[in-house]
Each structure stands twice: as C-alpha cells, then as structure tokens.
Amino acid sequence: MNEHRALDRSRALAIEDWFRANARDLPWRAARSAYAGLVSESMLQQTQVARVVERFTQFMARFPTVHDLAAADEQEVLAIWQGLGYYRRARHLHQAAKAIVEEHDGVIPADINALRALPGVGRYTAGAIASIIYHRPEPIVDGNVYRVLARLDAQNKPASDAEAQRWGWSRASELVQLARDPGAFNEGMMELGATICTPRAPACSDCPVRAGCRAHADGRADVIPPPKQRAAVEAR
C-alpha cells in the first residue's frame, strides 16, 4: 500500500471509529431500514436535522411501511409533510414508494442505478441508502462532505465549481472503498462536517483526522474551501 493510500485508509478508519463513538441519536438511525433511510434522506434534502426529527416520527407512525405509503392518498402525504416545505420532495417520495411496490415487490433496491431510477432519488440519496443500509462502498458528497474532503487535501476550489465537484466525488469514492463499513464512514463524514468541521471556526482540536489534515497543518482550515466567486462587475 503506497503512502497516499495508507493515509487515506487511516483517515477512513478514524472517521468510522469516531462516528461510532459520537453518532447523534437520531430516529432513522435506530430504525435501520431501507424505507426509513429513504424517508429520512428525502426529508433531509434542504431541511435541517432538528426540523426533520419530529416530522419523521409522525410520518413513520402514519406510513410505517413502503406499502402504506404507496397506497396513501397524495393529499394525506402532503398534509403530514407540512412544515418541511419543498413539497416536490413529498410527491417524489410518494411516487418512489409506488414504483418500489410495483417494480421491486416492495423491496427498496440496493443497486445504485436502480435506486437512481426512482423518482426524486439523486446521486447523494442513492449513495446514502446503498452505503448506510446495504453497506455498499458507494460515495456521497454534499456541502458538509465536500468541505471535509477539501480541507483534508487543501483543495482550494469552491464547492460550486464543477471540476471541484468531480474531484469531490472521486475522492469520496476512493476513501469509502477503504472503509471497513462504508455506511459508518459516509455517516461519519456527514456528521464531522455538521458538528466539527463546520464552515466557520472548525473544532480541529476535537477532530479524529487532524493529524493528516493539510488545511489544519497550513493554518488555513477556516478559509478552505473558498466561497463561491461572484461574477466580476465591470467598472465604468
């Protein structure tokens, strides 16, 4: 194993171990089912964890299985979704439940391409379900994960940059393949970005991967990644 790969392996294992010791107690983690994963990931797109917790519990009490959701009236699904906003997600989730019942015998698929074929399931949500529920080495990248990756390697491009996104998915893929449990690694990256490696004033002294973090070593943790560049305004 070369030096770079060995560093990545030690990062992946450190993040997994840290996650197991520090995971927040969230209701979908306790449920540990593909259906709970699908519902929670749909709700978490563009909504903060604290707001999702209460609504997730109500949603699961009313629609405890994918069959219950598939058979529900759309207006009732939208009513339970109330407060989370972005109702298109609720419609997509309802359509996905119908597709899972009709095309997959009610079993949420593990294959990344089959997941991505479901309504409203993008690359991130598919990777989250495949890795967290089915333990497949599929990457996930959102704003939190990109920030951690960028700081670890001192990648100095904003998350909005298309090339930086390609780089982020590629690095996330390399790292998740070195993890013992891809789901614990991916959840650890999300959790690290949300609680320790925050956009401003990251708590590097509490970070499990600070020893191999280039941004921390360079004293540039709080300026990487840079914000999205505004289009230059021409002076007149």
Both tokens of residue 59?
Answer: 């949603």
Q: Which of 41, 46, 7, 33 is nearest to 186 (CA)?
A: 41
If one asks whether residue 204 binds ligand SF4 (CB under 6 A), the answer comes out as yes
Nearer to ligand SF4 among residue 7 and residue 114 (C-beta): 7
If one asks whether residue 221 binds ligand SF4 (CB under 6 A), the answer comes out as yes
Both tokens of residue 68?
Answer: 């219950």
Q: Which of 151, 164, 171, 188 binds ligand SF4 (CB under 6 A)?
A: 151
CB proximity list for 54: less than 8 A, separation 6 or greater: none
Segment near ligand SF4 (CB under 6 A), from 4-12, 85-93, 127-135, 210-218? 210-218
If one asks whether residue 55 binds ligand SF4 (CB under 6 A), the answer comes out as no
User: Cα(41)–Cα(129) distance, rounded to whole angstroms?
Assistant: 8
Nearer to ligand SF4 among residue 22 and residue 95 (C-beta): 22
> Cβ(202)–Cβ(151) under 8 Å?
yes
Nearer to ligand SF4 among residue 20 and residue 104 (C-beta): 20
Residue 74 a catalytic site member: no
Nearer to ligand SF4 among residue 148 and residue 178 (C-beta): 148
- x/- binding map, residues 174-203, to ligand SF4, per CB under 6 A? ----------------------xx----x-
CA-based angle 149:211:163, to the nearest 5?
20
User: Cα(185)–Cα(181) distance, rounded to whole angstroms?
Assistant: 6
Q: How far is the CB of 223 from ligand SF4 (least distance, A)?
A: 10
Q: Which of 50, 4, 1 is nearest to 27 (CA)?
A: 50
User: Cα(29)–Cα(145) distance, rounded to whole angstroms?
Assistant: 19
Q: How far is the CB of 201 from ligand SF4 (least distance, A)?
A: 10
Site residues (CB under 6 A) for ligand SF4? 148, 151-152, 196-197, 202, 204, 207, 209-210, 213, 215-216, 221
Active site residues: 41
